[in-house]
Amino acid sequence: MGNNIDFEYEFPDIAHFLGRENTAELSHLMQLREIPAGMTLIEDGATVDAFMLIFSGEFNVEVSNRDKSLLLGQLGKGKWVGEVSYFTGDGLSTAKVYAVVDSSVLELKHADFVDAQTRHPMLASMLIQHFGELMAGRLRNSNQAFEQVGEQKLALMLANNEASIKDSWLIAMLKKLTGIEV
């Protein structure tokens, strides 16, 4: 395992949060994986077995329902994917993630992370805290959006079946919940 990437230079915010020793260990545990343009990194509803940190390129994120897909947006360098599935218990993804251009990710298999929890408990604790803060931030953003829309306005939109308003509101909510910039 391991790679030759200067994690502190490439991801200074994450490195600062984790600290030098944990950053070095995380960098050692992660593998660089090349993803060609058009390749699906995570399939919606499929089992995910790794945390992935986008190293380069761009990825589209979309959700599907029956025969329809909804593009939520794009993620780039420094964004995590696959972290939510680790904490859900079923390990299933909540969206499809695919490369728009030739891209790369740093990958940490969930099994290796579980092993690291005993060998490097401080790293595991800090990384779990980091993911918790990311997910909590997404929920806070969603709550703020709910407050802005207001229950009555949403109820009125749904009652009048105003599809375009309802769809744009849904897209905004999904973007906030998944951490995609609005």
User: For position 42, what pLDDT does the model report?
Assistant: 95
Name the token pair of 37: 């343009």
How far from chain centre, in Å, is Cα 69? 18
User: For position 136, what pLDDT does the model report?
Assistant: 84
Return the HEC string of 63-101.
EEECCEEEEEEEECCCCEECHHHHHHCCCECCCEEEECC
Name the token pair of 19: 């600290």
Please list, in sequence order, all residues whose beta carbon lies within 8 angstroms of the beta carbon of residue 37, skipping any fewer than 6 positions away.
99, 100, 101, 102, 103
Give dist(CA 12, CA 116) in Å, integer: 22
Other beta carbons less than 10 A from residue 139's beta carbon:
11
Other beta carbons less than 10 A from residue 100's beta carbon:
14
- Homologous superfamily in CATH for domain 7-178: Jelly Rolls (2.60.120.10)
Q: Hey, where are the domains in the chain? A: 7-178
User: For position 102, what pLDDT does the model report?
Assistant: 98
Encode the chain (182 residues) as per-residue pLDDT tens digits: 667 788 889 999 999 999 999 999 999 999 999 999 999 999 988 999 999 999 999 999 988 777 778 888 899 999 999 888 888 888 888 889 999 999 999 999 999 999 988 999 999 999 999 998 888 887 777 666 666 655 555 555 555 555 555 566 566 666 655 566 54
User: For position 15, what pLDDT does the model report?
Assistant: 94
